[in-house]
Structure 1
Amino acid sequence: MSASLYRKRRAKDVIARVLAFAATVFGLFWLVWILWTTLSKGLGSLNLALFTEMTPPPGDEGGLLNAFFGSAVMSLMGILIGAPVGVLAGTFLAEYSQKTWMNRLGETVRFVNDILLSAPSIVLGLFVYTLVVAQMGHFSALAGAIALAFIVLPVVVRTTDEMLRLVPSQMREAALSLGVPQWKVIVQVLYRSSMPGIVTGILLALARISGETAPLLFTALNNQYWSSNILAPMANVPVVIFQYAMSPYENWHTLAWAGAFILTMFVLAVSIIARLVVARGRISHD
């Protein structure tokens, strides 16, 4: 190799490294700025009333108790609706769609799942609004949970599909050679091996839906008062943050920053738990 060719390749390598480093620093700068702003403004807004009082009218003091409750209910319902369907669909893609007569169906399911995965959440909210809210004639927590389930579904499908494909084929063959039915192989062998990855996918889906605002604006809307009726509008943290941040009232701005801080900490905690689940699964397999 000539010296000039080596210098050219060396120069290209240095340029690529510098550009990659600059892009990383650029992205991290804005991420750190956003997190610092949220933490500095939100941490100073925390108080006991935030967790014990309802969302207040303009000019009054209050908290976000009903919003926390509503977000927890709708997120849990979204997971309970979307996660089982996602696990079953991912199992179908990994274990059954390889058969010749199901190959075309598997490709269709995977294509639709990719569309759902990349679809804007506001589009899903409009879809559920047409499907549920318009038919019921009013907003409801149930409609909000269905919208969140549509966001959970593609994440869990993709994670389950990939985790099951990572299980060595020898484990399937060994179990099937003993005469074990395929459904038992899936439940007792494959699910046990891939459970950390599947649980991680569900947790990541939970972290994603916990901060979704657009779908809930079209489905659950908001409620200034405490409500446990899933067939009625229900308060939730993302919509409260949106409405309070856009208001001209300083006490509402304070509550919005506090809600953003709590939401950020929740997403961070769920992400850390997901990583710990993956790490524990790797250690157990080793």
Structure 2
Amino acid sequence: MNEDSLQHPKLERQPMEPRALKSIILSTITIVCAVTACIPLFSVLIMLLYRGGKRLTFQLFYTLPPGAFDAPGVGGFGHAILGTAFMVGIAGLISVPFGILAAIYLAELGPHHKVSEIARFCAKTMTGLPSIIAGVFAYAMVVLLMGHYSAWAGGIALSLLMIPTVMLTAEEAIKMVPNPMREAAYGMGCTPTQSLIKIILPVAMPSIITGVVLAVARAAGETAPLLFTALFSESWLAPNNPTASLAVLIYNWSSSPYQNLIELAWAASLILVVLVFFLNIISRAVGGKTKL
């Protein structure tokens, strides 16, 4: 027996030992369950690529919907892409400032205050809120007061779904900033406000951006809130009028009796999935740069 074998003895395990056998069985079950869970996902993706990819052309991004009796291959949904971008942008302008400011209060200014506990509980409850409830609320508070459906009402409805996600992720990101950084800032004479602006927020910003991107991805695919607030339109964006969106377009055209509109609905579904996919990649890339 040489010296290396004495220093690093090789441990061998019999394959039929009870613990080894149990590990093999459980690992096999886990792999089978994981593969089974992926089958519906890949089935949907393959169907979208096959059905939607056939109709995917550059013309879709800048043309209006076709008429009922137009030839196949004519028309697009540029108005829905523009409407989705506008309403998600409005939702972001509302939810991001409010969400981050609320997170700063929860994490830094009043972490143990009774108001903070109530706000945190409400935000966690709202993350599981059915999106149709946000649509009904926006309908009652915005559409009925304005007297008409509009893109503004749709943006407000989507912001209700984005605020809790932005607030909770931003709060966790701020809490993850190490205390020595705060103490070093105070030791150098920084006020709490200066420490927050110059140290805490810059360090936590990658994680905050990740939460914002995930909230945007969720809002872009919502249908129910927009059915109560923005409805649908087959014309270009007019913020004070009913406005088209990709999610509602898919909902409406997928049950159309016209084959041309059904094909466009498949193409819109593919574009929406690709959009959400890239937003998730961006959130992963930005979140991976977080160094605390």
Give the TM-score of the pair, scaled to structure 2.
0.89
CA distance in 1, matches of 2:234, 2:246: 12
1:78 matches 2:91: yes
Alignment equivalent of 2:55, drawn from 37, 45, 52 = 45
* Higher alpha-carbon deviation: 39-48 or 108-117: 39-48
What residue is the counterpart of 2:11 in the other structure?
Answer: none
Which is higher, the Rg of structure 1 or of structure 2? 2
Q: Which amino acid aligns with 2:217?
A: A
Q: Is the 8 A contact 1:54 1:66 kept in 2?
A: yes
Q: Is the 8 A contact 1:55 1:67 kept in 2?
A: no
CA distance in 2, matches of 1:238, 1:57: 20
Deviation at 1:20, TM superposition (A): 2.4
Which residue is equivalent to 1:87? Answer: 100
User: Matches of 1:130 and 1:141 in 2, distance apart?
Assistant: 15
Structure 2 unmatched ranges of 5 or more: 1-15
Distance 1:269 1:58 in 2: 33
Match of 2:198 in 1: 188
**Residue identity in the other structure for 2:81:** F
Q: What is the alpha-carbon distance in structure 1 between the residues aligned to residue 33 and residue 137 of structure 2?
A: 36
Following TM superposition, by how much is the alpha carbon of 1:171 offset from its aligned partner in structure 2, in angstroms? 0.9
Query: Could you tell me which of 228, 231, 234 is aligned with 1:218?
Result: 228
SS of residue in 1 equivalent to 2:289: helix
2-structure distance, mates of 1:167, 1:137: 46
Q: 2: distance between equivalents of 1:106 and 1:13?
A: 45
Question: Which residue of the other structure, out of 211, 215, 219, is the alignment partner of 1:209?
Answer: 219
Corresponding pairs, count: 274
- Which of 71, 76, 90 lines up with 1:63 in the alignment? 76
How far the C-alpha of 1:15 sits from its partner, in A, is 4.1
Note the C-alpha offset of 1:113.
Answer: 0.2
Give CA deviations for 1:146-178 in whole Å, capped at 9, x if unaligned.
111111111111110111111101111221233
| CA deviation string 1:13-52 (max 9, x = no partner) | 4443333222211211111111111111111111232122
The structure that is helix-richer by fraction is 1
Indicate how the Cα distance of structure 1 residues 97 and 51 shifts in structure 2: closer, same or farther if over 3 A, else same.
Answer: same
2:279 pairs with 1:270: yes
RMSD: 1.7
Shift in Å, 1:215 = 0.8
Q: What SS does the aligned partner of 2:67 have?
A: coil
Tell whether the 8 Å contact from 1:56 to 1:224 is kept in structure 2 after alignment: no
Q: Quote how far apart the aligned CAs of 1:97 are.
A: 2.4
Residue-by-residue CA offset, 1:158-214 (whole Å, 9 max, x unaligned)? 110111111101111221233322122111100110111111111111111111111
The alignment partner of 1:246 has SS state of: coil
Q: What amino acid maps onto 2:259 in structure 1?
A: E
CA distance in 1, matches of 2:20, 2:99: 47
Gaps of 5+ in 1: 1-5
Say if 1:78 and 1:149, in contact at 8 Å, map to a contact too: yes
Structure 1 stretches of 4+ moved >4 Å: 6-12
- The answer to whether structure 1 residue 247 and structure 2 residue 256 are counterparts is yes
Instruction: State the AA in 2 paired with 1:83.
Output: V
**1:135 aligns to 2:145 (yes or no):** yes
Q: What is the CA deviation profile of residues 251-280 of structure 1, one whole-angstrom value per residue up to 9, with x for unaligned ones?
A: 001110111111111111111112221223
Q: Is the alpha carbon distance of 1:11 and 1:96 closer, same or farther for their aligned partners in structure 2, counting shifts above 3 Å?
A: farther
* Cα shift at 1:140: 0.8
How much does 1:59 deviate? 2.5
* Matching residue's letter, 2:227: L
Contact kept? 1:42, 1:259, Cα under 8 Å: yes
